Amino acid sequence: MASTFALLVISLVVIGVLKLLSVLYNTLTYWKNKGLPRDPSILLSWKVFLGYKSFVDFSDYLYYTIPKAKYMGTIDFTQPAIVLRDVDLMREIMVKNFDYFPDHRSFVDESVEPLFGKNIFSLRGDRWREMRNTLSPSFTASKMKFMFELISKCSHDFVNYLVDHPELCQSMETKDAFRRYTNDVIATAAFGINVNSMEDRDNEFYVRGIQATQFPSGMWVTIKFAMLRGLPWLSKKLGLSFFPAITTTFFRKVVGETISTRREQKIVRPDMIHLLMQARDKVGEDKLTLDDIVSQAFIFFFAGFDTSSTLMCFAAHELAVHQDIQERLYKEVLEHLAEGNGEITYESMTKMTYMDMVLNEALRKYPPVVMLDRLCAKRFELPPAAPGYKSVIVEPENSLLFPIYSLHHDPKYFPNPQKFDPERFSEENKDKIVPYSYLPFGEGPRKCIGNRFVLMETKMLLAHLLQKFTLKMVDKTEEPVVFSKKEFTLKPVGGFWIGLEKRKA
């Protein structure tokens, strides 16, 4: 009996191993069998997940491995994917043939992690279109103008706190500081809650934001991520989740209580929560559940909390390094302060052309994401990747990857790419930029819906900061920046460090 059981176990193990090897072999030979040029180190992505290679190095490796090809095959974690290099082809995919590539890859199944799986970034097909139409009114110029005063107050409070606490300014880690500012902005603009994270340093909004956006590295985290993405049914059974349970509970509670309070007290506040409440009244609670609303509010918080603050950090770093650029921007800020009797108005902010140039260059040199993606929805024929190759059929569920960081640093499009040069985006030069070589927020219907909001809160912070302080390099300032191998987004080793020197009145 024992020997029969042992034989059965051994047989099952052998069958499992053979099945795994078969899947691995088919994956590794997928593009070779289609006659497509492919990444010779096809499992390099695992080195990124395990922290041995930075995401930037990985992107550059893919981008320059076969420089004469418009695209090439690779493996995205465990799935076949295509890396695009040709900007005309990128336009075809993102805009002209959007119906063939309307979605993003799903990182987490919504049944396992509804907080992330139900948001506008992750949704697909008709559900994405419906949510996009629901949320778009939140980001029109009129809504930006309404939220301007809320953001202006947050930036004033933040800068005034620094003025009153000079001990913080001698050498400041800007990621922590700017994240507190973006926390306050999102809390008021999306949730209608006023917090001051510089004074109340451990407020729950900030603490939960840290928990949601800081992912530990290591082998177990990589295995967990792989299971959440590839084996959602098993992840659900094991109780695995992308975020701590307390984070999900907190955001569900905040949104639920906000909705209840507004209904009971008939409060109307034209922000994201209000628009989602209106949409829910139209379609019914069965089609737009509390989890749906919580998920949209959370992704707005998630992106605003971390991505926006990172842009601010890189912009402040470059201004500290380049005093001439900082001085020119400071003079522009002073001009608009004079026009507004000491205040920056919404109208004057939109006229800050050099501010736009500085931020555009910061987004070029340090894009919010290293790679963008699209997921194939129906069979599509790509033209030959290079002379001597045949056209390739992209199948549904195949991923297409856009190496944005590498594109932004290609000398063919941006000469001397490591140089921080806002003049690339001047009125005289911006028309020289090759279309689709600059994609900090993506393009087409899937373009980042909140890009206007991100730029507005960043402009307000820099304007008020420069009004009171000169940004300086300190001993801990790393120039040039060396990117961490432990992060999937652009973060320097050792953090962001600058000094703030109070300007004389």
Say which DSSP state 308 is in.
Answer: I
Residues at the binding site for heme are: 448
Residue 38 and residue 73: Cα distance in Å, rounded? 4
Residue 269 and residue 390: Cα distance in Å, rounded? 56
Contacts of 219 (CB under 8 A, 6+ apart): 50
Structure tokens of 488? Answer: 């999937």
What is the DSSP track for 146-214? HHHHHHHHHHHHHHHHHHH-GGGTSSEEHHHHHHHHHHHHHHHHHH-----TTTSTT-HHHHHHHHHH-
Q: Of the candidates 87, 86, 69, 57, which has an alpha carbon nearest to the alpha carbon of residue 31? A: 69
Strands (E), 353-442: 372-375, 380-382, 392-394, 399-402
Residue pair 184/196 in contact (Cβ under 8 Å)? The answer is yes
Calculate ∠ Cα 153-191-211, nearest 5°: 100
266: left (phi > 0), else alpha (psi -120 to 50), else beta?
left
Residue 418 and residue 503: Cα distance in Å, rounded? 30
The residue written with tokens 């997940």 in the block is: 49
Contacts of 479 (CB under 8 A, 6+ apart): 317, 321, 473
Residues at the binding site are: 448
Q: Give, rounded to a whole angstrom, the gap between the first and last alpha carbons of the chain.
A: 91
Q: Of the candidates 358, 303, 368, 374, which has an alpha carbon nearest to the alpha carbon of residue 104? A: 374
